[in-house]
Amino acid sequence: MPGRPLSRRTALGSALAVPVVLGACDIDPPRRESESSPATPPPEDSELVATVVASLVRAGALLDATTTEVPGLAARLAPVGAAHAEHLDVLVGAVPDAAVPTAEPVSVPPRIVPALAAVRRSEQRLLRDVREACLAAASGDLARVLGSVAASTSQHSAALATEVTS
């Protein structure tokens, strides 16, 4: 679908470039505070994105290793990995010159039940990281994107929570 990734990146890139900075009061109307440097993403939000990107890379590496070690889980984990890849694509595209970190090697139990348990723990850790970044984001639009990532991750975690029978 030509142009769609660019449009998604542009949308979030713009969100980072024009942050919504919130005051101390929880319910004050958001106000924009970036007129002086509209082209520069706020450093704190770029760091948040980098944190989430690193967490997605880590979670993705575990999924890949699990699929390799326990092929019987491949079909179940494929949708999770596809979602991570989409989330990663949008977030990496939002930060100019963003580098995707290399994942550390991971070891995976060679049996379905413990391997799936490790994936569940990994996804819960990812969800915590995304939530923290969402709550800390200066840009309201970035917070919304991260909120969607958190919602997606919670859905996949719920799907993984069902018991395996083999």
Evaluate whether 160 touches 123 at the Cβ level (below 8 Å): yes
Report the site for another protein in 68-97 (rule: CB under 8 A). 79-80, 82-83, 86-87, 90
Evaluate whether 132 touches 63 at the Cβ level (below 8 Å): no
Q: From residue 148, give the alpha-carbon distance in Å to each of 2, 47, 112, 130, 152.
A: 23, 19, 29, 10, 6
Which one of 10, 51, 124, 148 is in contact with another protein (CB under 8 A)?
Answer: 148
What is the contact mask toward another protein in residues 34 to 73, using x (rule: CB under 8 A)?
A: ----------------------------------------
CA–CA distance, 146 with 166 (Å, rounded to integer): 34
Which one of 8, 10, 33, 54 is in contact with another protein (CB under 8 A)?
Answer: 8
- For residue 34 the two structure tokens come to 């970036």
Q: For another protein, which stretch binds (CB under 8 A), given 62-70, 99-107, 117-125, 138-146?
A: 138-146
Which one of 6, 113, 158, 164 is in contact with another protein (CB under 8 A)?
Answer: 158
Residues 6+ apart with CB under 8 A from 48: 133, 136, 137, 142, 146
CA–CA distance, 52 with 98 (Å, rounded to integer): 12
* Residue 30 engages another protein in binding (rule: CB under 8 A): yes
- For residue 145 the two structure tokens come to 């994107």
CB of 39 to another protein, least distance (A): 21
Binding site for another protein (CB under 8 A): 8, 11, 20, 22-23, 25-30, 79-80, 82-83, 86-87, 90, 127, 131, 134-135, 140-141, 143-145, 147-148, 150-152, 154-159
